[in-house]
Amino acid sequence: MTELDVEATPSPLVELDQERYARFRTSFEAVTNLGHRLLAARLAAADVLPAPGAAAGRDELLARLAVSPGYQRLGEALLDMLERADLLRRHGDRLAVTERVSGAAGLAGDAAVDAAATALRREHPEAAGYVPLLVACQTQLIEVVRGERPANDVLFPGGSADLVAAIYRDNVQLDFHNRLCADRVREHVLGFLRRYPRSYAQVLEVGAGTGATTGPVLDALAERAERLRYFYTDVGPAFLRLGRQGFGATRPHVDFARYNVEGAPGEQGIEPGSMDVVLASNVLHATLRISGALRHCHALLKPGGVLVVNEMTSRLDYNTLTFGLAEGWWRHAEDEPRVESSPLLDVPGWRAALRAAGFVDVRAYGVPGLADGEQVQTVFTATAPGGTGPAR
Ligand SMILES: C[S@@+](CC[C@H](N)C(=O)[O-])C[C@H]1O[C@@H](n2cnc3c(N)ncnc32)[C@H](O)[C@@H]1O
């Protein structure tokens, strides 16, 4: 049964401009294509790939790439990607370099890369924000995977989040899913306040980061701010400082606290069983064990409370080529069921994980008209059992 039921939320918050979204998908594909070509050009220039037409064993290619221990999974994922992109072609147990690599070879120099990036941004403004991070990551890939340059120097040069933030700016896909989160949180908060007219609703956000999801959620809750306590949490103190700057001054109902979702709330000064809604946007995939993180989210909730999860549910080569440079992308435990060559779960995987963690009434929301397997990003809601029925 496909349970993606975005149509069941007829709120202006979750309207999607389908034409613009289709343009975005086409543009994003063009960005990914540039990523494949940059990767091939870099590996060819560093003599990791032999000349077009020549072949090598997989282990030999990995040895030439010479990844440091934390990047073994990335090395494997890059070879798989080159094969899917027809830059490498399997012949028996060897991989032959295809002619497509000759076409990419012109992208070895900085000037050629700049020209290709500029042309792509001009032709595909819908996904232009993705280009600078991709170029930065691919032009420094070899140094990072060999442990010669810290990934953070590439992803956050000089400590700045600008390259990553550019992705979020005016992004039709991310905006839509953030609004979907906001709509789900709002529905449950309003339901709670209707049922308990003399109480405060308590919402805790896990891994709030720079607040990309927090903003739309707080805006959607603004009319009930006087009846709300919102806990902006993250494992990183720097993000709490950013959160305070962004939301602290104008919103007295927002509190800031350090919380690591890999640990139990009670051990970190947060009352177990005290939240009406827990929100986790683009954070749970980064944990060692999603099963443990979900148990801790469950522990935060009152009986009948709702967890809202926003997660990438398809492996995208773009993410492997960029966020895959962060060692944290690959840190999940060996025995954790994740989508191959990624830290992600797909839609059925999230449903199963949420149910296994004891949640009931698990629902998934995504782009209308797309099947589960085509959803790049999905919002899930799941209820901690024991309440007195859905607070609608
Ligand atoms: C990709 S960012 C997402 C930020 C924000 N939620 C959004 O959707 O834009 C991931 C965030 O999760 C935080 N994070 C990573 N591991 C965490 C953990 N174990 N507990 C809490 N937060 C964590 C990171 O510090 C970072 O701010």
Which amino acid belongs to residue 39? L
Nearest-CA residue for ligand 1 atom 27 is 209
Residue 282 Cβ < 6 Å to ligand 1: yes
The widest CA-to-CA distance across the chain, in whole angstroms, is: 74
Residue spans in the chain of domains classed CATH 3.40.50.150: 6-14+171-383
Q: State residue 286's pLDDT score.
A: 94
Q: How much distance in Å is there from the Cα of 278 to the middle of ligand 1?
A: 14
pLDDT at 1: 36
In this model, does residue 57 exceed pLDDT 50? yes
Does pTM surpass 0.75?
A: yes
Contact 39, 103 (CB under 8 A): no
Which of 235, 256, 297, 309 has most ligand 1 atoms within 8 Å of CB, for mutation? Answer: 235
Q: How confident is the model at residue 389 (pLDDT cuts 50, 70, 90)?
A: low
Mean pLDDT for the stretch of residues 295-302: 98
CATH class of 6-14+171-383: alpha beta
285 CA to centre of ligand 1 in angstroms: 9
CA of 283 to the centre of ligand 1 (A): 4
pLDDT tens-place string over residues 194-243: 999 999 999 999 999 989 999 999 999 999 999 999 999 999 998 999 89
Atom of ligand 1 nearest to the CA of 239: 27
Residue with tokens 């989210």: 297
Q: Cβ(314)–Cβ(288) under 8 Å?
A: no
> Rounded to the nearest whole angstrom, what is the distance from the C-alpha of residue 300 to the centroid of ligand 1?
17
Crossing angle (nearest 10°) for helices 110-123 and 18-45:
170
Give the model confidence (pLDDT) of 139-195 as tens digits: 999 999 999 999 999 999 998 888 998 998 889 999 999 999 999 999 999 999 999
Strand positions, DSSP E, 185-338: 201-206, 228-234, 254-258, 275-281, 301-312
Q: What are the residue ranges of helices labelled H in the chain? A: 18-45, 58-65, 72-84, 100-104, 110-123, 131-139, 141-145, 151-155, 162-168, 172-195, 214-221, 237-243, 290-300, 317-321, 347-356
